[in-house]
Amino acid sequence: MSLVVLISGRGSNLQAIAAAGLPVAAVISNRADAAGLEFARRHGIETAVVPHREFPSREAFDEALARIVDRCAPGAIALAGFMRIFTPGFVARYAGRLINIHPSLLPAFPGLDTHARALAAGVKLHGCTVHFVTADLDQGPIVAQAAVPVLTGDTAAELAARVLRQEHVIYPRALAWLLGGKLVIEDGRVRVNDSHAAQFVFSPDA
């Protein structure tokens, strides 16, 4: 079972996914200038650009995206910094296969600017969450989380970098579970069918 990765920018999670040896069938971006596309091309991974501005509606954009995704018949569709919100139809079509990484310990700080908001709130732990995508933004069933400390004097950029290192740990791990058919969703909660699986990481490393 392969996976398709959707990106809009840098692509560091894409790199971590590829470095973990996961079978990336294609990388699709809504932006032609996404740096992650260059990484994919250099590594012989099929790429496609679906520029959202060229579509008259969200439905039309999602249709075009789905046509490319379906050509790969992927076991998972991984959002990795993909900055578009899907229509409910797209989400329903890929239910149980559509997965995202979000840079906060959900349900805290859904949406944008999570690191600055975490600093402003004075939280002492921050982190990232891998979750299934549902029609409600950043609220799908949680697969894995990593926590890091918030240190005195942290800037949003420093905190973001600390969190990102852990994104690169938990996202490939969660995707391997999904592709391996190990994830079970029960009452909106996710269990891994593997007694050795750790669904959390705490990294005190600054």
CB of 178 vs ligand GRF, minimal distance in Å: 17
Q: Select the span of 4-12, 20-28, 50-58, 179-187 touching ligand GRF (CB under 6 A).
A: 4-12
- Cβ neighbours of 112 (radius 10 Å): 9
Alpha carbon 90 to its chain's center: 16
> Is 115 tagged catalytic?
no
Residues 125-144 that bind ligand GRF (CB under 6 A): 128
CB of 35 vs ligand GRF, minimal distance in Å: 8
When CB distances to ligand GRF are compared, the closest residue is 81
Residue from the set 4, 13, 65, 179 that interacts with ligand GRF by CB under 6 A: 13
Residue from the set 3, 5, 12, 154 that interacts with ligand GRF by CB under 6 A: 12
Q: Check binding of 172 to ligand GRF (CB under 6 A).
A: no
Could you give the CA distance from residue 11 to residue 28 in angstroms, rounded to a whole number?
11
Residues in the chain: 206
Which of left, alpha, beta for 147 (phi over 0: left; psi -120 to 50: alpha)? beta
Is residue 80 within 8 Å of 17, Cβ to Cβ? Answer: yes
Map residue 140 onto helix, strand or coil: coil
Residue at token pair 């079509």:
93
Burial class of residue 65, CB neighbours in 10 A (0-12, 13-18, 19+): buried
Residue from the set 101, 133, 147, 178 that interacts with ligand GRF by CB under 6 A: 101
Active-site residue identified among 43, 102, 115, 131: 102
Among 158, 131, 128, CA closest to 146: 128
Nearer to ligand GRF, 76 or 80 (CB): 80
Contact residues for ligand GRF, defined by CB under 6 A: 7, 9-13, 36, 80-81, 101-103, 128, 164, 167
Residues with active-site annotation: 102
